[in-house]
A and B are shown apart, each in its own frame.
Chain A
Amino acid sequence: MAEVTIRKKLISVEEIFHEGGPVAQHPLRRAAALAVIHNPFAGSYAAKIEGFMDDLKPLGLEMARDLVAALGGDIKLVEGYGKGAIVGSAGEIEHGALWHVPGGYAMREVLGGAKAIVASTKKVGGPGTRLDVPITHINASYVRSHFDAMEVGLADAPRADELVLALVMTTGARVHARVGGLKASEVKGEDGLR
């Protein structure tokens, strides 16, 4: 067990009305939650790191709930999600991988059992590093209108011995989605894919 020490948190919300086309009747909203935490494995190679995933579970749930609240407080509004991590320079990419389970399952749980795998990305970087967090539909990964990404980052993080953990949720399709594919209205929602 390692303690999860939070230095700072960020919640950002975008409300998108149009992108050169017709103004959306219901603007697309996208929210990101970031937590800057101490990386307990920074500075040396640790063979056993898996236990930290359990330690991160409460933080994952807290961030997932913060996102639902930032989007209006109703889980039914959430249609897309994604996650990511930025590892400070004294850590390794594998430390970012610790976020897959606690970040992903937290969102699926908070959203009432979302079916689709949570798209993700991660990198090692210095303060100010930007991360393009991929986004897909919460119940069917093939829904083409919901493929999206949200850029996140903080000017002062991650420091060398820190991790930036990110979760993202959205309320719908890209604002002018029109390239076909599986529609959200056609989703079976059984296998997480279609």
Chain B
Amino acid sequence: MKAKIRKIATFVEETQQEMGRPISPPARRAAAVAVIENPCAGKYVEDLSELTAIGEELGELLTTRAVAALGIAGSAAESYGKAAAVGENGEIEHAAAILHPKLGTPVRRVLGKGAALIPSSKKRGGLGVVLDIPLGHKDAAFVRSHFDGMEVRLNDAPRANEIMVAIAVTDSGRPLARVGGLKKEEIKGEDGLR
């Protein structure tokens, strides 16, 4: 393990009702968050490949954790997203190095597919910063019912020299989705868009 992990947290939300209407089966989503040491904190580092390698590791670890927390097969996942929060001694580019070059491949390996871009967000912040992980359908980005977001937060992270890395996976779209657009039953799932 290249990443020096201080803690890992998982969150599973299950929505059974919305506006008094039953959601059946319940809408379920999970996020897995790792708090790691930022090896590039406190100085300018030109080559961020160490963080990129950490991203690749965390892609597999966190997706596996999130799917396990949901208790579903990877192939049953419907939407996904990723996000990172860099502590105050790091730069936003550190989040980019973790999230963008290599994290996605192991995510897709765990889920079996994932033709769509993994929606992402990133920020720099202090302890307790809120990460809103964007969510989109994993095989067709235009599936409107699956545009969503999941908030995660840890009161004790990220410390100044840490990075919080989060991956969210769902088994469904929004509860009571009804604003039209491409439906999941209609997707081709080839180009990642439709």
Identify the A interface with B (CB < 8 A): 5-19, 130, 151, 153-155
Contacts and interface: CB of A to CB of B under 8 A. Distances in A.
Nearest to A15: B8
B13 A130 contact: no
A25 to B, nearest CB: 15
B12 A12 contact: yes
B6 interface: yes
B17 A10 contact: no
Contacts of A9: 13-14, 16
B12 A15 contact: no
The 3 closest A-B pairs by CB, nearest first: A151-B155, A155-B151, A8-B15
B7 interface: yes
Interface residues of B, number: 19
Contacts, number: 50
B11 A11 contact: yes
Contacts of B92: none
A12 B9 contact: yes
A7 B12 contact: no
A6 B8 CA distance: 28
A11 B18 CA distance: 19
Interface in B59-109: 69
A7 B6 contact: no
A12 B69 CA distance: 9
Contacts of A155: 151
B172 interface: no
Contact of A17 (B5, B16, B17): B5
Contacts of B14: 8-10
Contacts of A5: 17
B7 A15 contact: yes
A5 B154 CA distance: 28
Contact of B12 (A10, A19, A130, A151): A10
B7 A13 contact: no
Contacts of B15: 7-8
B155 A130 contact: yes
A154 B31 CA distance: 13
Contacts of A14: 7-9, 154
B11 A10 contact: yes
Interface in B101-126: none
A155 B11 CA distance: 13
A8 B16 contact: yes
Contacts of B11: 10-12
A12 B151 CA distance: 13
Interface string B16-37: 1110000000000000000000
A13 B8 CA distance: 8
Nearest to B149: A155
Contacts of B16: 6-9
A10 B26 CA distance: 12
A130 to B, nearest CB: 7
